[in-house]
Structure 1
Amino acid sequence: MNSFDILKAIAILLSIAIIIWFIKFYTKETLTKIEQIKIFIIGFVSNLLDTVGIGSFAVIVAMRRLLGVMPDDVKLIGSMNIQAMITALVQMLIFLHYIKLDIITLLVAVIMIALGGFLSGLLVVSVDKKIVHLVMLSAFAFTGVLLLLSQLHILEISGGDDAIRGVKLVIFAVFMLAAGCLPAFGVGYYSLVKTSIFLFGVNPIIAFPIMASASAYQMPVTSFTFIAKKKFYSKSTIIMIFSGVLGVFIAAPLISKVDPYTLKWILLGIVVYNVVTLAKASKQPE
C-alpha cells in the first residue's frame, strides 16, 4: 500500500465516522415533494459544476435563494459541508486514480485546509449571524476580484510544474490554512485554491485532485461541530448527497473536455449574484 492508498483509506474511514455521527444527531425534517425536487436539483447541479472546477458552495447559496429552500444560513452551511464530505470523497477517489501528482504538495494542502476547517468550524456556530454574512460577503468579493483579474489576463494563472517546494511551499501552506476556514462560513475555496496553485506555477490539472483530496479531509472536520450543534438540515442533506454523487459521476469524464475560460465566467456570475444578495441580506433587520 503506497502513500496515496493510505490517504484514500483514511479519508474513507473519516467519512464513515462522521456519517455515523450525523445519524446520531439526525432530526426529522418535513419537506414537500416540490421542495425535495428543488433540493435534488441543487445537489445535482452544484456538484456537477463542483467536479469540473467551479465549486459547489457559491452555486448552492445562489440556487437556494432562487428556489426558496433551506432559509437558515448557519444550518445551510452545515448541510453544505456534510454533503460535500461525501461528494468530495468520490471526486478524490476518481482523480487520484487518473491524475498523478506530488505527494508532499498534496499532503500540505490536505493538512492545512483540514486544520483551517476545524478551527473555523468551532468559531462559526458561536458567532453572530451578521458576522457570518460579512465573512461570506468578503470572501465572495475577493474570489470575484481574483476571477475577474484572471479573465482579463491581468493576473495570469498558469504553469507546468507538478510540485511546490522551498519558501513557496511555506507560503502555500499559510494560504491553504486561510482557504480551509472559508467553508465554515458558507464559501467554497475551489477558486481560491486553484488560483494559488496556478500562481505557484503548478500544472492546472493538478488542482483537481488537490482540491478534492483537501475537501475529503476538511469537510468531515468542519462538519463535526455543525452536527454536534445540530446546525444542519437532515433530509435536505441526504438528498443533496445522493444527487450530488450522481452529478460527480456524470461530470468526472468531462474534465478534459471543459473550457476553463467559459467556466470561470459562469462562476464569476454566480459570485456576483451572491455578493449582491448577501449585501442586501446584511442590511435587513434581524
Structure 2
Amino acid sequence: MVVNALLGLIVILSTYFLVFYVRDMWRHRHNLGKGKTPVAMGIGFIVDFLDVFGIGSFATTTMLLNATKQLSHDRLLPGTLNAAFAIPVAIEAFIFISAVNVEPITLFSLIFAAVAGAAIGGRIVPRLPEQKVQLGLGIALLITAVLMIGKQAGLIAFLSSGNTAIGLVGWKLGAAVVMNFIFGALMTIGCGLYAPCMVMVFLLGLNPTVAFPVMMGSCAALMPVAAKEFVIAGDYARKVSLCLMTAGIVAVLIATNLVVQMDLSVLTMVITVVVLYTGIMYVRRGMRGLQPVKHDDTVHVVAGK
C-alpha cells in the first residue's frame, strides 16, 4: 500500500511537470535555442549513468556544459538541469522502489523526512555559513569513507551489523528520520543528499541498496515541482534540456539494472568510492574561502542533487 502510494505520487508529479514541459516545447518547436545535439546527448548519458551510482549529476553537468559552451547564457543553467533531470530521476526512483526490497514504513518515513527538510529546514539552513557546513560535512564523509574501507578490509568490526537489514525500528528509525530531514535541509545550500544518505544507511546496518530508493525517491518528489517553475518562466535551454533528458533516460535504464544486480560487496565498495569522492569535493569547496555564489551552488539550492 505505502509503496504503491509512493509510486503513484512519482507518476503524478512527473506527469504534472511533463504537461508544462511538452506544451512549452511544442510552442517553441521551430526555435529550441542553442545547443549541439550529439554533445548534449553525450553529456546526458554520462552524467545520468553516474547519477544512478550516487554521483550527483548536477555538478558534473555544470562543468561539462560550461566546458563545451552549450548554453547561451549562464542564467539558464539551473532551469536547464532541473528540466533535464526531473524525468530521469523519476525513472530511477520508480525502478529502485519497485525492485529493491525495503520495509515500507522506513522508505516512506525517510523520503518524507527529506522532502520536509528541504521545505521547512530550507528556510533556516541557508542562513548558516555555507562553506563551513560544506567543509564539516566533507571531513565527516572522508572519516566515514576511511572507516568503511577499514570495515571492508576486516580491520574494524564495530560498524553496522552485517548490512543485511531492509528496515528500521525504534530509535534507529527515529535517528534516520532526523538525519534525513537534516540532509534534505542541507540540500538548499549545495550539500547533496546522496552521499550522506549512503553513509547513514551503512552505519545503521541496512543493506546498501536501501539507500538508492530513498535517495532517488527524495529527489523525484522534489525536482518536478522546481522544474515546472523554470519551464513556465522560460528560464531554461530547451534543446539542451531535451537532449540531456533523452540520453539520460537511456543511461538510467542501463545503469539501474547494473546496480540492482550488483554483488553486495562490490556495491559497498562503489558506495565507499562515492562517499570518498564527495567528501573531497566538499572539503575543496569549503576551503576556497568566501566567494560569490557559483553556478553549481545555485543549482543545488534549487533541486538538491
Q: Is TM more than 0.5 here?
A: yes
Given the alignment of the two structures, is residue 49 of structure 1 paired with residue 43 of structure 2, yes or no? no
**Distance in 2 between residues matched to 1:231 and 1:3, nearest whole Å:** 36
Letter in 1 for 2:21: F
Q: Which one is further off, 186-195 or 211-220?
A: 186-195
1:224-263: CA deviation from partner (whole Å, max 9, x where unpaired): 4444444433322222111111111121222115541444
**Distance in 2 between residues matched to 1:113 and 1:73, nearest whole Å:** 29
Q: CA deviation at 1:277?
A: 8.3
**Distance in 1 between residues matched to 2:226 and 2:70, nearest whole Å:** 22
For structure 1, list consecutive stretches of 5 or more residues without a partner in the other structure: 124-130
Q: CA deviation at 1:191?
A: 0.8
Q: CA deviation at 1:102?
A: 1.0
In the other structure, the counterpart of 1:197 is 201
SS at match of 2:110: helix
Letter in 1 for 2:143: L
**Quick one: structure 1 residues 49 and 277, their matched pair in 2 at CA, closer, same or farther if it must change by over 3 Å?**
farther
Given the alignment of the two structures, is residue 235 of structure 1 paired with residue 229 of structure 2, yes or no? no
In the other structure, the counterpart of 2:258 is 254
Given the alignment of the two structures, is residue 214 of structure 1 paired with residue 218 of structure 2, yes or no? yes
SS at match of 2:250: helix
In the other structure, the counterpart of 1:31 is 34
**Distance in 2 between residues matched to 1:74 and 1:180, nearest whole Å:** 24
In the other structure, the counterpart of 1:104 is 105
Q: CA deviation at 1:185?
A: 5.2
Letter in 1 for 2:146: L
**Quick one: structure 1 residues 204 and 71, their matched pair in 2 at CA, closer, same or farther if it must change by over 3 Å?**
farther
Give the TM-score of the pair, scaled to structure 2: 0.72
In the other structure, the counterpart of 1:145 is 139
**Quick one: structure 1 residues 273 and 22, their matched pair in 2 at CA, closer, same or farther if it must change by over 3 Å?**
farther
**Distance in 2 between residues matched to 1:52 and 1:201, nearest whole Å:** 19
Letter in 2 for 1:147: L
Conserved in 1, the CA contact under 8 Å of 2:230 and 2:236? yes
**Quick one: structure 1 residues 278 and 20, their matched pair in 2 at CA, closer, same or farther if it must change by over 3 Å?**
farther
In the other structure, the counterpart of 1:6 is 5
**Distance in 2 between residues matched to 1:224 and 1:120, nearest whole Å:** 22
**Distance in 1 between residues matched to 2:43 and 2:283, nearest whole Å:** 18
1:46-76: CA deviation from partner (whole Å, max 9, x where unpaired): 1101112222223223333433344866642
Matches within 5 A, 1:116-155: 116-118=117-119, 135=130, 141-153=135-147
**Distance in 2 between residues matched to 1:63 and 1:275, nearest whole Å:** 22
**Quick one: structure 1 residues 144 and 25, their matched pair in 2 at CA, closer, same or farther if it must change by over 3 Å?**
farther
**Distance in 2 between residues matched to 1:184 and 1:228, nearest whole Å:** 22
Letter in 2 for 1:153: L
**Distance in 1 between residues matched to 2:102 and 2:166, nearest whole Å:** 6
Conserved in 1, the CA contact under 8 Å of 2:70 and 2:240? no
For structure 2, list consecutive stretches of 5 or more residues without a partner in the other structure: 152-158, 295-305
Q: CA deviation at 1:207?
A: 0.6
**Quick one: structure 1 residues 216 and 76, their matched pair in 2 at CA, closer, same or farther if it must change by over 3 Å?**
same
**Distance in 2 between residues matched to 1:280 and 1:163, nearest whole Å:** 42
Q: CA deviation at 1:197?
A: 2.2
**Quick one: structure 1 residues 244 and 275, their matched pair in 2 at CA, closer, same or farther if it must change by over 3 Å?**
farther
Conserved in 1, the CA contact under 8 Å of 2:139 and 2:283? no
Query: Larger C-alpha radius of gyration, 1 or 2?
Result: 2
**Quick one: structure 1 residues 56 and 31, their matched pair in 2 at CA, closer, same or farther if it must change by over 3 Å?**
same
**Quick one: structure 1 residues 221 and 146, their matched pair in 2 at CA, closer, same or farther if it must change by over 3 Å?**
farther
**Distance in 2 between residues matched to 1:182 and 1:74, nearest whole Å:** 23
Q: CA deviation at 1:95?
A: 1.6
In the other structure, the counterpart of 1:168 is 172
SS at match of 2:34: coil
In the other structure, the counterpart of 1:126 is none
**Distance in 1 between residues matched to 2:52 and 2:65, nearest whole Å:** 19
